[in-house]
Structure formats: structure tokens, C-alpha cells
Structure 1
Amino acid sequence: MNRRAVLRGAAAACTLGAAGCLERLGFEEESAWANPPLVEDRPDAVYLPAGAEEMGAYGTASEGDYALELSYTFPHRFWIPGQGGSRVDVDADDSMHLMVTVWDVDTETVLPVDVSLELRQGGEPVDGVPAAPWPMLSQRMGFHYGDNVRLPGEGQYTLGARVGPVDAVRTGAFEGRLNEAATLEVDFAFERSDIHDLEFTFVDEDRRGERDALPLMDHGEHDSDDHDDDDVGPPPSSQGPPVDDLPGDPLGTERSADAKISAVETGLERFGDDSYLAVLPRTPYNDVVLPFTSLTATVERDGSTAFEDSLSETLDHEFGHHYGAAIDPLEAGDEVTVSVDAPPQVSRHDGYETAFFDFEDVTFTIE
């Protein structure tokens, strides 16, 4: 019997206490690590999955401008980038789903950045953790890096993570920073019981597949004894700042491929001598940023094209993660069209895997 069958039969008996519950029912880990139910008739949009997995944290580390948290949950299914892309299913040999969140210490901003990992035990490298984890979107975790991993057994490990540099344009408090890579290490003890004791909370059957999302988790929810060794605290949310609070003139918010796409014109000097167009694509419901996306903006004025160019992925201390370009000041009657040339190049967990692919252009008319 696999975990899917167990979930159906044991829902009344357990929250699901995952393998902890399964072991009480007489099942071994091999059956626990099967995929949870997948919602049928999923919309081409963000939707409520079958349930939510509890997570734990192994600890944090910091070096220079970078901070990192290492967290974990059950091994679980995810989809790698690409519409209808390959689904990665759980293998019986998977030990856990390991997750890394990287952020800037000064601005407390989650970073889209290159991440490579090395796992060591007793000072010696061990296999089991992919060298390059996937950038991922999860309804509970938001934007992070992760993968299912296989460890040789219980015991003490050290995860070394090389993070950086940041390729995105950096403005404001980010300017001149995050140009170099750093290596951060987290020591942790892997015990199967930690994974087994996590809970899986079901979404009501009549709500599964609804166009909605699970709430973002508060990273303070999960405990880690290792946090005491580092003063950076838990990671910030990957939720973008409220668009209405941004300095400038909001052009509006449109929906495409179920992403919210907002645009703001600002005249802040740090963006250049002209006006600056900031475009902010985000998830609906939770406003999580959508990194590694390619966008183009076009400004039509009096029947001719006044501007057409790609937008640069940018980090700013007020605008957060966004895409932008310097433009001539907009005038009444201008039409600003945003095209998504390539969707977010991130893997997706349940609830996001059918959204953010078939983008149609969105247009904002200046009044």
C-alpha cells in the first residue's frame, strides 16, 4: 500500500502524522514516502492543493552580506521548469526534502542567487545532496531552493553552501553590494524521527482545487536549536512590498497566466535622470515575487512606439524584487504594454505547477 492509500484510509485517525502516524498503523518508511494525493481537474491557475506539510529547521548561518537557513520536510513531488515539465516523484530512498533560503542581512530581502551545495560527514564529502538545488516556489515556503535528498544514514552532517554573486541589477541599499560569492555552513544531525514526526494537514476535500492558496508560513513557526548559534534569526518572507506603498505613480495591476502584474512609474534619482518603469509580477493571494522571468515593455504614444526594450531583473530596498527600465516620462494617453518573453524559471510545488506559463500581454493606459 502506498502513502496515497494510507492518506485515504487514515485521515480520520491522524492529522497526518506522516510516518509517525504510518508506523503506528504498521507501515514502514518505504510506503510513507509515496506522493500525497494530487488534486484532480486542476485549473490552469493557482489552486489549493490537497494539504500542507509541516517543516522543521536545522539552523542558520551568515557570512558578510549573506544569510542562509537550512530547513527540511517530507520528501515530496515537484515539477521542474517548463510547461508540462517533468514531474519529480518521491523515491523510497529519499531521506527528506531539503530547503535553503538565502537573504541579504542588511535589507532582509530574499535573494535570487546562484546556490551550490556540498554535504560532508566527518570532514569527508558524501553523495546524496544535488550540487545545484532547484529554485522553487511553494505556497507555504514562498521562493526558496530545494530538492529531495538521499543520505547514507543518521548522524552528524555539515552542509556547505556557496551563494552569490547576485546577477540582478542592484539599486539603492543594494548598490555596490553582493558582488562576491560567500560560503556558509550549517551543522545538523539527521534523525529519521524528525521527519516522521512532522504533520501533514489536509485541506477539506470540497476546497481542494479552488482558486486560492495556502497562507505563507511564518518562519518563526519552526524551531531550531541551531538558531541560538547565529544572531541573524529566521529568514524574511519572499512576499514583495505592497504596491500601493511604493514611491511613484501606480499604473495598475492586471492578471495574466494567473500572475498579478503591477506597474509603477517613479522619478527617484537613483534609477536615472529620466522616469523609471518598475514592473512587479507576483503570485496572486500571497504576493510572492516571481524571479528569473524575462519581460519586455513597450510604450505607444500617438500611434508610434516611444519605447521598447527588455526589463532588467532588479533588487531595490524600497521596490524589492522587480523588473525595470529607464523611460521618458509617461504622458496622458500613453499605452504601456508588458510582455512576458519567458515564464519564471523555477520549479513548482503542488498548487503552482499549472500557473505562470501561458502569459498574455497586459496593457496600462495612462490617464
Structure 2
Amino acid sequence: MYDPDLDRRTFVRRVGAATGAIALAGCLEPGADDEVGDGSANDSSESAGDAMPRFPEIDDRPAAVYRPTHRESMRVLEPITAGEYTLAPMLSYPHPFWLVTGGDGEDEIERVDPEQGRGVHLMVTLWDAERGIVLPVDSSATITVFRDGERVGAPRSPWPMLSQEMGFHFGDNVPLADDGTYTVEIEIPPVPTRTTGSLEGRFTDRETATFKFTYDQAFRDQVVGGVEYFDESVWGEPGALKPMGHGGVPYSALPPAEEYPGTRLEATDGSDTDLPRSGDAAILVTLLESGSRLAAGDDRYLLVSPRTPYNRVPLAAMAIRATVERDGEPVDGANGIALEETIDGEYDHHYGASFADIRPGDAVTIEIESPPQVARHRGYETAFLEMPPIDLAVPEGPDR
């Protein structure tokens, strides 16, 4: 049986004694075994030279959001302000995460492992202090680490990431060879996504934020001792961990479906979920009335809001296309209309476009041309990959 207390002690002892920097294992080749040891769920074996224990892995992870084996622990630093941005740095032990390599399906995701335990997993949540909306950041942000005025390693571009506990953020594993006080400089690019409503025209400047932290045995004791391991009976079960409550740091939860105006489109596949699903993503699709501030002229605005199914975290960096058909014939051309990724002061993150001719009774197909191109923490790495089209209908009758 897996002994979490033993692994905590081993981790603290070995991290304290390790002298090498983290070496990222790089990307696994498609089809390579990304399990630990013999791949069993309660395997905690260590290979020679590892400076940290392997967390237990789960056999046959579902192609959906699932409950991981443990809840991570971290140190949350004081929020800082840079121009129009507010950001909160968070630090944990180095750990694996998964990258999406540009396609769909499980062969298009690659695991990145820290081979040794010296260093931190640095995470940053970025938001608009006026509205409390967490802002998307692409991989053009940069992180540079200094110690005693000297740069430590090369600047790195953090990954946009999804986490059940922290929601949308950006981060990376950062190797640190020695204990001491470090200064981190983060260069924040303009928000790459279209902004509308109260956010329109904002976040167009590149800003720099700086903070310090101490990396020592006390830090390692804190983040390792705070790990919460769950009973093996719930590993891999459908569900998600509750968001962590960090005072003053917003969580990137989208509004509930019932708070969106307009006519909610209905799934035609007979599914009994509250929202249509694709690749385990819950996808809200609503048609705003003509005259909406988001629509062009008298057009109607089709708003598509993909989110994680339990914590309503937005799914960024997707390519989505909508096609409208009437009596079996396309209305806006055979290829449909590409939806633009948008972050709005009222409706938050979504994808949308104006449609000049869309009526009750029309069939609407939402085609996901590219799944979310964001890195994932445990519990999200097998979801939102293979995302088939969703067939919907514009209902007859009043808006709802």
C-alpha cells in the first residue's frame, strides 16, 4: 500500500541533499510509456539518482477530467501590481506537467518531468484588479531569475496552464542549484486575446513585475508536508478537486450558464448533461439578440463558452468554427464562420462571431478545429484532446 508519509520524508531528505539542478526530461515520443515504475497505481519506486520520489500513477486514466491521487501544496506570495495587471506568484516543488503539441488526440500530448528535485514549480495568476477577471497569457511572457545580482540560467517562457486547484495560470519548473534568496523578473506581454466591453482597449502595454522568495529547507518542508493524499478508491474517478482558497487571489471560474443572456442552443444528440459536451468540455452556446454590443450592426452574436465540467475554468487557445444550416443547406457558406477568442468584462472568456442570418429551427454545428493549446496539471491531461463536433439547434419560442 502506498505510504505518503514515507514519500514525504524521502522527498525532504533527498531534496535537501541534492546538488544538481533540475534537468527537464523533455518530451516523450508519441506512444512512449509515461507511467512510473511498472505503471501500477500505487507504485512509488525511484530510479537511481532521482532527488524526489515519484508520485503514484493511475492505470487506465479516463479520457476525461478525473480526480488525481493528491492535492498539491504551495506557498502563495503577496500579489504585486504592474501597470494594469495584478499578479500573484505561487511556488511549489517541481512536478510533472503535460504539453499539447498542436494537434488532437492522446498522441499529441507530451509529459515533461523534472529529473531532480532542487528548484521550484513557479506559477503566476494574472488578473484585472477592477473586475477580478483572470487574464489569458500566451507563451511570449518571460521569466528571468537572479541571485546576488547574477542571472541564474537562461530566461524562460512559462507555459499557459490549467490546474484543478489554481485554474488558468502560467508557469514552469525552475531549477535552483543552491539555497538562498532569489529575485524573479516577469515580463508580461500585451494580452493576445480580443478584449471587449469594460476591458476593450486595455492590457496593450508590455509590463515588468519583480518579486523575491527564499528557497531553503523550511520552504521544502512546508510544500512537501502540506501535500494531501487521497484514498486510493477515488483515484481516477470522474470529478475535480475544489479550487484552492487563496485570500485576494481570484479563481478563473466563468459565470454559471444561467447568467448568460440570449437564446441557449439545444443539443440534438439527446444527451442529458446540463451543457453539451465534447472531449469532456462543457460548452455553453447562446445566441444574443440583434443590437447586442458584441454584434455587428443588426446581426446576432453567437457566443460559445467552453469550460471545464466541474470548476468552470475557461479553455483558452482553441480554434472553433460554427456552421449554420437551414433545410439541409449551409447559410453562411459551406465552411462556416471562424469564431474569435474574446475576453469580455461581463461574459468573460469566450469565442464569438456575428451572424447576419440565423433563425429558430436552424441547425448549428460547432466544430473544434484545434483543442486548447495549453499545458495541463494532473487530472486535466487526458481531457479536451479529441473533441468531436457538437450538433445544436436554435429552439423555437422565446429566449431562455
Q: Normalized against structure 1, the TM-score is what? A: 0.87
Partner of 2:255: 241
Partner of 2:348: 320
Specify the SS of the correspondent of 1:219.
coil
Q: Does 1:57 align with 2:76?
A: yes
Specify the SS of the correspondent of 2:157.
coil
Q: Does 1:86 align with 2:105?
A: no
Alpha-carbon displacement from aligned partner over 1:265-298 (angstroms, at most 9, x marks no partner)? 1132243322111101111111110111110011
Cα pair distance change 1:296/1:28, threshold 3 Å: same
Q: Residue type of the partner of 1:91?
A: E
Return 286-295 or 118-127, whichever deviates more: 118-127
Structure 1: gaps spanning 5 or more residues: 1-7, 221-233
Alignment of 1:211-226 (within 5 A): 211-220=238-247
2:194–2:341 contact (8 Å) kept in structure 1: yes
Structure 1: distance between partners of 2:15 and 2:301:
62
Q: Does 1:117 align with 2:131?
A: no
Query: How far 1:366 moved relative to its partner?
Result: 1.3
Alpha-carbon displacement from aligned partner over 1:228-268 (angstroms, at most 9, x marks no partner)? xxxxxx32111111121023222242111111111011132
Partner of 1:224: none
Structure 1: distance between partners of 2:307 and 2:9:
35
Q: Does 1:293 align with 2:318?
A: yes
Specify the SS of the correspondent of 1:206.
helix
Partner of 2:228: 201
Q: Residue type of the partner of 1:63?
A: A
Alpha-carbon displacement from aligned partner over 1:158-206 (angstroms, at most 9, x marks no partner)? 1111112112111101111111111111122222321222222112111
Alpha-carbon displacement from aligned partner over 1:104-155 (angstroms, at most 9, x marks no partner)? 2222111112421111223332217x51011111111111111111113222
2:240–2:311 contact (8 Å) kept in structure 1: yes
Partner of 2:295: 271
Specify the SS of the correspondent of 2:218.
helix
Q: Residue type of the partner of 2:100?
A: P
Partner of 1:47: 66
Q: Does 1:100 align with 2:124?
A: yes
Partner of 1:223: none
Q: Does 1:10 align with 2:3?
A: yes
Return 48-57 or 184-193, whichever deviates more: 184-193
Query: How far 1:347 moved relative to its partner?
Result: 1.0
Q: Residue type of the partner of 2:122?
A: L
1:47–1:351 contact (8 Å) kept in structure 2: yes
Partner of 2:29: none
Structure 2: distance between partners of 1:344 and 1:193:
37
Partner of 2:389: 361
Query: How far 1:20 moved relative to its partner?
Result: 8.1
Query: How far 1:54 moved relative to its partner?
Result: 1.3
Partner of 1:334: 362
The alignment-based identity, stated in percent, is 38
1:172–1:316 contact (8 Å) kept in structure 2: yes
2:11–2:52 contact (8 Å) kept in structure 1: no
Structure 1: distance between partners of 2:210 and 2:340:
31
Aligned counterpart in structure 2 of residue 34 of structure 1, from 45, 53, 57: 53
Q: Residue type of the partner of 1:255?
A: R
Return 356-365 or 117-126, whichever deviates more: 117-126
Structure 2: distance between partners of 1:306 and 1:26:
61
Query: How far 1:61 moved relative to its partner?
Result: 1.3
Aligned counterpart in structure 1 of residue 339 of structure 2, from 311, 317, 323: 311
1:34–1:92 contact (8 Å) kept in structure 2: no
Q: Residue type of the partner of 1:124?
A: E
2:93–2:121 contact (8 Å) kept in structure 1: yes
Structure 1: distance between partners of 2:368 and 2:176:
39
Return 135-144 or 311-320, whichever deviates more: 135-144
2:263–2:394 contact (8 Å) kept in structure 1: no
Query: How far 1:32 moved relative to its partner?
Result: 5.8
Q: Residue type of the partner of 1:108?
A: G
Partner of 1:254: 276
Structure 2: distance between partners of 1:260 and 1:48:
17
Return 40-49 or 265-274, whichever deviates more: 265-274
* RMSD over aligned Cα atoms: 2.2
Q: Does 1:131 align with 2:159?
A: no
> Would you say how many aligned residue pairs link Structure 1 and Structure 2?
342
2:185–2:208 contact (8 Å) kept in structure 1: yes
Specify the SS of the correspondent of 1:38.
coil
Query: How far 1:37 moved relative to its partner?
Result: 0.7
Query: How far 1:329 moved relative to its partner?
Result: 5.4
Partner of 2:43: none
Q: Residue type of the partner of 1:363?
A: D
Partner of 2:90: 71
Structure 1: distance between partners of 2:262 and 2:220:
47
Specify the SS of the correspondent of 1:193.
helix
